[in-house]
Structure 1
Amino acid sequence: MTVAPDDSRQSSTPYTAMRGVLESLDDTVPGKFEISKQGIVHDMMSPGRPHVFTAGLIGRRLERVMPEGIWAVAGEPDVEDEPEGIMRRPDVMVIALDEMEGEGSFDPRTLIAAIEVVSQSNPDNDWVGKMREYPLMGVPVYAVFDPRTGTGAVMSDIHATPDGPRYATRKDFVYGEDVTVADWTISTEGLPRYAG
C-alpha cells in the first residue's frame, strides 16, 4: 500500500513530514515502512520465515566468498537519500565495514549492492518501485530473489535515460543456478519458496 504525502504541512517538506509519520508509528503498527517517490510504502505483513530465511542464507553465502572487510548486512538501518526523498530498507546490504561506522541511515552511494527478497503481499515494491529508485539513489547493483516463482534478477550498470537513471544490465536466474552479485558468485540451491 502506498500513501501519498500530506502537502498541508507548510513548515516541512513532504519527505520530512513522511519521515516524522514513520517515526511516530515506530513499533506501534505491524509491517515494514519505507518512503518512495510516490509516498509511504507499507508492507502490511511482517516478513515470514521463508523471507527471513532466504535473506539470511543469501547473506551467509555472500560472506563466505567476500573478502575481509566487506559485509552482507540484514535489516536496519535504512538507506536514505534525503535530497531525492527516498528511504528504503533492503533485506540485505553489501557494504564495506568502514562505511558501517557512525549513526543514522546509510548513504545509498556507499552500498556495493542492495538485495531484496520479494514480499508475498507487495511484490511490485521490489520489482517496480525499487527497480526504479535504487539506480536513482546510486546503488550500483540491485539483486532480487523471488520465492513466489523461484526466480530472480541482478541489475547493474546505471546509465542515464530520459526517465532518469536506470540499470542497463539485467541478468535473470532461476533457483538452483549460481548467481553473481557485484563481484561474488553464490549458489541459489535450496533457497526456500513460499507455500501455495
Structure 2
Amino acid sequence: MRDFVQWVEDTLPGKFEITKEGIVHDMMAPNGRHELTALRLRKRLEEMMPEAIVAHTGKPDVEDETEKIIRRPDVVLIAWRDMEVPGSFDPRTLIAAVEIVSRSNPDNDWVGKVRDYPLMGIPVYAIFDPRTGSGAVLSDIHPTPDGPRYATRKDFVYGEDITIADWTIPTDGLPRYGDETSAS
C-alpha cells in the first residue's frame, strides 16, 4: 500500500494516508481557514515550548511500520533531534499530534485517528473542529480488548484555554468554517 500511495500522490489531487482499515483519500485540499487554524496553533504552541521542541506542520509523514499505518497530522509536537531521521517520523517520538477537522471527511479525524493514534503510541491527540467551534484533547493511552485507546478526553469550545501535553494555549480567535471574518 505504501508504494501505491507514493505513486498516486504525484498523480492525483488530495492527501492519502494508510490507516488500520485501509487507504483514506481526502480529495479536498485544506482550505484557508484550515491552514490558518494550523498556523495559529503552531505559533501559540511554539511561544510556550522550550527551544528544543517544535510544532511542525507539513511533511514528512508519521509512520508505524509494525502496524503498517502512515498518517500526516496537521501539526506534530516533536523534539528537533527526533526530526533528524531519513524518511517518516517515528510516532513514538511525538509529544502530541494536532488535527484540524476537514470539512470533506470529518470521520477521518474523529473516528479513524482516534483509533490509530493510540495504536501508534502518540501520547496526546488534540482535535480542533472548525465546523462546530469545539474540539477535544485525548490522552492517557491504556490497553483495551480492542487495542490501545485514549482513557482521558477533555472537550472544549473555542474561546477556552486548553492544555496539549505540557502547554496551555488559548483557543480564542480560531476561524470557523463559514465565518466571513476571523479574529487574530
TM-score where L is the length of structure 2: 0.96
> C-alpha distance in 1, partners of 2:85/2:18?
22
**Cα shift at 1:102:** 2.2
> C-alpha distance in 2, partners of 1:113/1:89?
13
> C-alpha distance in 2, partners of 1:161/1:22?
30
For residues 125-147 of structure 1, the C-alpha deviation after alignment (integer angstroms, 9 at most, x for no partner) is 00000001100000000000000
> C-alpha distance in 2, partners of 1:32/1:55?
16
> C-alpha distance in 2, partners of 1:90/1:152?
15
**Cα shift at 1:91:** 0.1
Segments of 4+ in structure 1 off by > 3 A? none
> Which residue is 2:182 aligned to?
none
Contact 2:62–2:89 (Cα < 8 Å) also in 1? yes
> C-alpha distance in 1, partners of 2:110/2:6?
26
1:81 aligns with 2:70: no
One-letter code aligned to 1:79: V
1:46-57 matches, cutoff 5 A: 46-57=29-40
2:43 to 60, 64, 73: 60
> Which residue is 2:152 aligned to?
169
One-letter code aligned to 1:34: E
For residues 98-141 of structure 1, the C-alpha deviation after alignment (integer angstroms, 9 at most, x for no partner) is 10112100000000000000000000000000001100000000
1:1-196 matches, cutoff 5 A: 18-195=1-178
- Per the alignment, in what secondary structure is the counterpart of residue 109 of structure 2? helix
> C-alpha distance in 2, partners of 1:19/1:49?
29
- Per the alignment, in what secondary structure is the counterpart of residue 113 of structure 2? helix
Instruction: State the structure with more CA Rg.
Output: 1
One-letter code aligned to 2:26: D
- Per the alignment, in what secondary structure is the counterpart of residue 61 of structure 1? helix
Query: How many pairs are equivalent?
Result: 179
**Cα shift at 1:19:** 0.7
> C-alpha distance in 2, partners of 1:181/1:80?
21
**Cα shift at 1:28:** 1.7
**Cα shift at 1:82:** 1.3
